[in-house]
Amino acid sequence: MRAEYQNPRFPMSIFLFVSLCLPVLASADQFFGQVMSDSKTPIVGAMVTFRFGDPFQEKTVFTSEEGRYQIAGLPGSTDYTVRVRRIGWHDLVTDEVAVAQENGALDFTLLRHTDPAMVAAQLPANHWYGLVLDRVSSEYEREQLVRQCTYCHQQGNEATRVQRPVEEWHKVLSLMARMGGGLDAEFSAKIPELFNSAYDPKTAVPKLTKGFDQPGFAPPPSEIVRRAVIDEYQLGGRASMQHDMIVGHDGIVYSVDMATDHLFRLDPSKPDGARESFAIPSGDLPLGGFGPGGALPSNTSMRVGPHSLQVGADGDIWITLAVGNKLARFDTVEESFTIEDLPGGIYPHTLRIDSKNRVWYTIAVSNHVGMFDPATGQHEVIRVPARSFGEEVMLRMLPVFLWAGQYIDLGGGGGEGASLPVPYGIDIAPDGGIWFSQLNAHRIGHIDPDSFEITMIDTPFTAPRRMRFDSQGKLWIPGFSSNLISKFDIETRQFEHFELPIEPLGTETPYSLSIDPVTDDVWICGTNSDSLIRFQQASAEFTVYPLPTMVTYTRDIDFSADGGVWTSNSNAPAWQIETGIPRLIRLDVNGTIDLPLVDSVGSNL
Ligand code: HEC
């Protein structure tokens, strides 16, 4: 069969993927076969991905110890393109599924990469970013770099690891600072030399690909991981930023597109993974809304900036409109929005709904936590303590600065932005207590839900981000710039840390975590390494699930009753993602377990 061997790098690969694949009708709804090297040895742990539909969906399985794969649950009677991918081998992309035997048998042969630069290009971003971090000797600077430069997009992916003239770097850094990714001036001045030297292919490629032709390089995922099936659903367009996602009632999945002010809805039970979108009313707000000012990417049409979402007890979807300074409520039956103005604060961020149906949300820029009770119309805006008197003054003056920023160039926040306290993640304890993190201040806080009294606690690690309670009432917190998750006991006030196992150690930036409501497993975003990470509490064991698309920036995780672990690819800008368009992603850890094993001609084993 005809197959194209291609360089995995994009945008070239996107071009090839699209232009060389003239899909052929294939009627099978399941396929099986073997992935072998050209010297006839099985390739273990290759990802076999079937793409179909428009907007497309991709289903991925892994090959076994014998190089075998099996994929089922495809829609049938449709066009497929297939990609087979394994680090160290040329991506194989083919459309000739029609040549599969009638029973769905389809084998593939992969060719080894001989050029180390091609192998280096297949590695997730964190491997490249590790080269930068290795060169930063000051812990203060390293922490700042990780916290400030990795919260919109990955660092070290193909778009960001480009060497640039110093002047170009200054332009990039100035734009990043205006969007909120500021570094202090002294450190910022070192960035061009730091990145250019770390990303010099002459030194980077040999380091990243040492021993790439030896068996120990880029080991295949474990047998446990290889049972997984991964579904990816293309969502939105090149200007999209699918921020958070949530599984609603009946397994319907919702996602908010911050850059285009839309709520998306996916029904995974439909064979074509039906996707719809709803424009969130923005009234007469200007571009950028009331947001904290600064620059907007040129292709954004954000006026309200939907950021996070949760499902209410009645099935309605509650959404924070970060730059519109509002809350939205989406009635899933009427398919209509109600917009709730907020009495104060700037940038409503992450929200949770308590057992009395009250909506609690962090307010990131002005350092507040808000509460809205839809039953009574009561609003509370609770001021979170700053770390010092100076910071308090700065925060109280913020609305004036933002107002003035419309008229005078205030330099985009830069260094100050890097250190202002930012209320971030939030969750509700079994006893009804409200817990939140204060990202840049490296603290968590407790709010009494009745008296609104606040207690702050320093975290013994940096950048606590999105946190969750497990069924035992323990609070799990990811340390975004400290490469760990921490378990906090709200009774004893003790923290217990677990370092993330992502290689090279210290290069991961866990944006968020969620707790599986059935197993109490902690699922962590492998934000900079194209992965989802499971932590099983009983065995204290981590399992890393690699995700098939390069530049998969994960931001939030939720679970469906059928065992799906859901997340989104939220890299902003979307054009850095391998296909240029965000996705919703479903991981089924035991997706292949019930399939009968078949041999190479389709007989049951
Ligand atoms: C608030 C979100 C945000 C943060 C934080 C951020 N970036 Fe970006 N970055 C973007 C966006 C959006 C783009 C795309 C800009 C465009 O296409 O105009 C981008 C693009 C880039 C690019 C590619 C530029 C190009 O034209 O190829 C580099 C390199 C980069 N960022 C580095 C950084 C560094 C270094 C930091 C930390 C100082 C950082 N980013 C922090 C949003 C962010």
Candidates 78, 41, 80; CA nearest to 63 is: 41
Q: What pLDDT does 4 receive?
A: 40
Q: What pLDDT does 272 receive?
A: 83
Q: Is residue 161 domain-shared with residue 246, that is, in the same domain?
A: no
CA of 455 to the centre of ligand 1 (A): 35
Instruction: Flag whether pLDDT at 555 surpasses 90.
Output: yes
Say how many domains are in the chain: 4
Confirm or reject: Cβ of 297 under 6 Å from ligand 1: yes
Q: Is residue 107 domain-shared with residue 125, that is, in the same domain?
A: no
Confirm or reject: Cβ of 587 under 6 Å from ligand 1: no
Q: Which of 289, 321, 341 is the last residue of a domain?
A: 341
pLDDT digits (tens, 9 = 90+) for 141-191: 999 999 999 999 999 999 999 999 999 999 999 999 988 899 999 999 999
Is residue 439 in a domain? no
Which residue has the CA at smallest separation from atom 2 of ligand 1? 152
pLDDT digits (tens, 9 = 90+) for 412-449: 443 444 578 899 999 999 999 999 999 999 999 999 99
pLDDT digits (tens, 9 = 90+) for 180-201: 899 999 999 999 999 999 999 9
Instruction: Flag whether pLDDT at 14 surpasses 80.
Output: no
Confirm or reject: Cβ of 148 under 6 Å from ligand 1: yes
Distance of CA 590 to CAs 143, 547, 593, 594, Å?
37, 15, 5, 8
Q: Is residue 8 domain-shared with residue 109, that is, in the same domain?
A: yes
- Pair 169, 195: CB distance under 8 Å: yes
Q: Is residue 474 domain-shared with residue 578, that is, in the same domain?
A: yes
Mutate to test the pocket of ligand 1, among 141, 144, 145, 176 (most ligand atoms within 8 A of CB): 176
Is residue 281 in a domain? yes
Q: What Rg value do the Cα atoms of the chain yield, rounded?
A: 24
pLDDT digits (tens, 9 = 90+) for 454-470: 999 999 999 999 999 99
Is residue 599 in a domain? no
Domain span including residue 556: 466-589
Higher-pLDDT residue of 115, 408: 115
Candidates 572, 550, 465, 584; CA nearest to 514 is: 465
pLDDT level of residue 604 (50, 70, 90 thresholds)? low
Instruction: Flag whether pLDDT at 595 surpasses 90.
Output: no
Mutate to test the pocket of ligand 1, among 150, 152, 365, 422 (most ligand atoms within 8 A of CB): 152
pLDDT level of residue 78 (50, 70, 90 thresholds)? confident
Q: Is residue 296 domain-shared with residue 314, that is, in the same domain?
A: yes
CA of 113 to the centre of ligand 1 (A): 31
Mean pLDDT, residues 263-284 taken together: 94
Confirm or reject: Cβ of 351 under 6 Å from ligand 1: no
CA of 59 to the centre of ligand 1 (A): 30
Q: Is residue 287 domain-shared with residue 182, that is, in the same domain?
A: no
Q: Is residue 77 domain-shared with residue 159, that is, in the same domain?
A: no
Which residue has the CA at smallest separation from atom 26 of ligand 1? 172
Integer Cα distance of 342 and 74 in angstroms: 46
pLDDT level of residue 390 (50, 70, 90 thresholds)? confident
Q: What pLDDT does 5 receive?
A: 39
CA of 185 to the centre of ligand 1 (A): 17
Q: Is residue 46 domain-shared with residue 97, that is, in the same domain?
A: yes
Higher-pLDDT residue of 13, 262: 262
Q: Which of 69, 99, 114 is the last residue of a domain?
A: 114
Instruction: Flag whether pLDDT at 119 surpasses 90.
Output: yes
CA of 576 to the centre of ligand 1 (A): 10
Is residue 356 in a domain? no
- Pair 346, 365: CB distance under 8 Å: yes
CA of 172 to the centre of ligand 1 (A): 7
Distance of CA 45 to CAs 104, 124, 229, 493, Å?
20, 16, 12, 42
Mutate to test the pocket of ligand 1, among 135, 153, 194 (most ligand atoms within 8 A of CB): 153
- Pair 417, 180: CB distance under 8 Å: yes
Is residue 460 in a domain? no
pLDDT level of residue 401 (50, 70, 90 thresholds)? low
pLDDT digits (tens, 9 = 90+) for 93-102: 987 655 555 6
User: What CATH number corresponds to the domain at position 579?
Assistant: 2.130.10.10
Q: Is residue 106 domain-shared with residue 190, that is, in the same domain?
A: no
Is residue 129 in a domain? yes
Is residue 428 in a domain? no
- Pair 195, 159: CB distance under 8 Å: no
10 by Cβ neighbours in 10 Å (0-12 / 13-18 / 19+) ranks as: buried
What residues contact 549, with CB distance under 8 A and at least 6 apart? 58, 232, 530, 569, 577, 578, 579, 583
Candidates 511, 508, 544, 531; CA nearest to 585 is: 531
Confirm or reject: Cβ of 176 under 6 Å from ligand 1: yes
Is residue 551 in a domain? yes
Q: Is residue 259 domain-shared with residue 329, that is, in the same domain?
A: yes
Q: What pLDDT does 96 receive?
A: 61
Q: Is residue 8 domain-shared with residue 107, that is, in the same domain?
A: yes
Candidates 111, 112, 109; CA nearest to 33 is: 109
Instruction: Flag whether pLDDT at 355 surpasses 80.
Output: yes
Q: Which of 341, 367, 401 is the last residue of a domain?
A: 341
CA 164 to ligand 1: nearest atom: 29
Candidates 423, 55, 73, 71; CA nearest to 235 is: 55
Average pLDDT, the chain: 89
Q: Is residue 485 domain-shared with residue 563, that is, in the same domain?
A: yes
Distance of CA 96 to CAs 27, 37, 54, 518, 592, Å?
12, 19, 19, 41, 24
Widest distance between CA atoms in the chain: 74
Scored b (16 or more CB within 10 A) or e, 337-371 reads: bebeebeebbbbbbbbbbeeebbbbbbbbbbbbbb
User: What CATH number corresponds to the domain at position 11?
Assistant: 2.60.40.1120
Integer Cα distance of 404 and 400 in angstroms: 6
CA of 112 to the centre of ligand 1 (A): 34
Q: What pLDDT does 386 receive?
A: 86
Scored b (16 or more CB within 10 A) or e, 462-498 reads: bbbbbbbbbeeebbbbbbbbbbbbbbbebeeeebeeb
Integer Cα distance of 380 and 120 in angstroms: 52
